C-alpha cells in the first residue's frame, strides 16, 4: 500500500490500494467516468454507508457537469484505469453526501426510474426535507463528519464515445441533436417501429422545451421553437395512433389547437382519434375544419369520412344483431 498522498486539495488524502494501468486518462469536459465506490465512516469499525458493488451497478458521472458531490470529480481525475484508491475527505467536502446517498439508495430501490447519474436538479428541494428517510443519513446530516471513499476506476469515455442523455447536453448540442433525433424518428416510423420512433420524438421535444424556457414567451425565437415542438408532437401523435393510444392523441392535439388553432395536421390527427373512439360528430367537425383550412386535402378527408361511415355501419350492424339475440 502506498503512503498517503496529498492531492494539493485542502482536506483530501489519497492512498493507492491497487495501482492502475497506462497513462492518466484524458478527463475532458463531457467525459463519462464509470466507477465503483464504497463510502465508510472514519470510526474504528469503518462503518460502511454505501457500496455500489453490493447494489450490483457501478456509478457514473459526467466531468464538468456540476455533480452534487464535487470532490468526487477531483478524486476520479487523479486516478488511472483499474486503479483502486482510498480517499479520506474532511467535512468541508462531505456535507452534501447524505443527500446524494439518499438519491442513490432510492434509485437502487427502484423508486426513481433514472440510473445512477445524479446531477444538481432538485438539490435545493432535498435540503427542505426534515428527514432523508434513512436513520443513518439523518444522523450524518445533523453531524457532518469526515468520510472515506474507496474508489475503483472502471472506464473513461470521451463525449463522442457514448450516447449522451438530453439533460446532459449544452444548449448548442441540444439544438444540433434535434434534427438528428427527428430524422431517426422518421426512419423508425417508416420501418413500423412506432415505440422506438416515439422515444426519438420525445427526446427531441425535451431538448426544444428546455431551450424554450430560456426565451421570452411569444417572441420570435420562442415562437420558432414552438413551431418545431408542434411538428414533433404531431409526429409523436402519429406513433400514438398506430399504437392505439387514442385518448393521448386527443389530449396532445387539443393542447396544440388551443394555442395554435390554424394547424391543419392537428385537426386531421384529432379527427382520426375521435373516429377511433366513436366520437362521430367531433370527428366530422375536425375533418370539415381540415377542408376549410386546406382544400387540397379533400381526397384524404373523403377517405377518412368513408372509413368512419363504414366503421359506424359495422357498429350499428353489431348492435342490431345483439338486440336480435337478446330478443330471440
The string of pLDDT tens digits covering residues 34-93 is: 999 999 999 999 999 999 999 888 998 888 765 668 899 999 999 999 999 999 999 999
Which pLDDT band, with edges at 50, 70 and 90, does 130 fall under? low
d(CA 207, CA 168): 10
pLDDT of residue 67: 65
d(CA 16, CA 11): 17
- Top-tier CATH class for 4-157: alpha beta
Which residues make up the CATH 1.25.40.10 domain(s) of the chain?
A: 171-307
Contact 86, 148 (CB under 8 A): yes
pLDDT of residue 53: 94
Helix axes 264-276, 280-293, angle to 10 degrees: 160
Closest CA to 25 of 187, 180, 156: 156
Question: What mean pLDDT, rounded, does the chain reach?
Answer: 87
pLDDT of residue 133: 82
Q: What number of CA atoms fall less than 13 Å from residue 193's CA on the CB side?
A: 11
Ranking 75-84, 106-115, 265-274, 311-320 by mean pLDDT, the lowest is: 106-115
**Cut 0.85: pTM above it:** no
CATH superfamily to which 171-307 belongs: Tetratricopeptide repeat domain (1.25.40.10)
Which residues make up the CATH 3.10.50.40 domain(s) of the chain?
A: 4-157
Amino acid at each position: 500500500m502506498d503512503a498517503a498522498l496529498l492531492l494539493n486539495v485542502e482536506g483530501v488524502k489519497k492512498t493507492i490500494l491497487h495501482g492502475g494501468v497506462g497513462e492518466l486518462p484524458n478527463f475532458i469536459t463531457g467525459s463519462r467516468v464509470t466507477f465503483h465506490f464504497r463510502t465508510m465512516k472514519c470510526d474504528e469499525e469503518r462503518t460502511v454507508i454505501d457500496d455500489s458493488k453490493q447494489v450490483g451497478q457501478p456509478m457514473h458521472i459526467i466531468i464538468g457537469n456540476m455533480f452534487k458531490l464535487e470532490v468526487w470529480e477531483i478524486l476520479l481525475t487523479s486516478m488511472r484505469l483499474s486503479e483502486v484508491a482510498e480517499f479520506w475527505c474532511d467535512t468541508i467536502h462531505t456535507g452534501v453526501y447524505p443527500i446524494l446517498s439518499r438519491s442513490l439508495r432510492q434509485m437502487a430501490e427502484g423508486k426513481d426510474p433514472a440510473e445512477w447519474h445524479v446531477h444538481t436538479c432538485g438539490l435545493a428541494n432535498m435540503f427542505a426535507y426534515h428527514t432523508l428517510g434513512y436513520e443513518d443519513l439523518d444522523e450524518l446530516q445533523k453531524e457532518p463528519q469526515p468520510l472515506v471513499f474507496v474508489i475503483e476506476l472502471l472506464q473513461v469515455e470521451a463525449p463522442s464515445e457514448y450516447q449522451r442523455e438530453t439533460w446532459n447536453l449544452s444548449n448548442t448540442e441540444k439544438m444540433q441533436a434535434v434534427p438528428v433525433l427527428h430524422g431517426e424518428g422518421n426512419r423508425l416510423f417508416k420501418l413500423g417501429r412506432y415505440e422506438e420512433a416515439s422515444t426519438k420524438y420525445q427526446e427531441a421535444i425535451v431538448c426544444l422545451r428546455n431551450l424554450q424556457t430560456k426565451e421570452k414567451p411569444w417572441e420570435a425565437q420562442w415562437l420558432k421553437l414552438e413551431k418545431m415542438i408542434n411538428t414533433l408532437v404531431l409526429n409523436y401523435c402519429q406513433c400514438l395512433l398506430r399504437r392505439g393510444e387514442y385518448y393521448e392523441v386527443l389530449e396532445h392535439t387539443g393542447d396544440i389547437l388551443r394555442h395554435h388553432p390554424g394547424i391543419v395536421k392537428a385537426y386531421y390527427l384529432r379527427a382520426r382519434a375521435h373516429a377511433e373512439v366513436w366520437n362521430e360528430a367531433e370527428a366530422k367537425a375536425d375533418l370539415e375544419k381540415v377542408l376549410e383550412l386546406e382544400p387540397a386535402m379533400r381526397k384524404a378527408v373523403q377517405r377518412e369520412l368513408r372509413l368512419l361511415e363504414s366503421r359506424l355501419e359495422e357498429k350499428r350492424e353489431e348492435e342490431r344483431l345483439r338486440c336480435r339475440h337478446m330478443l330471440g
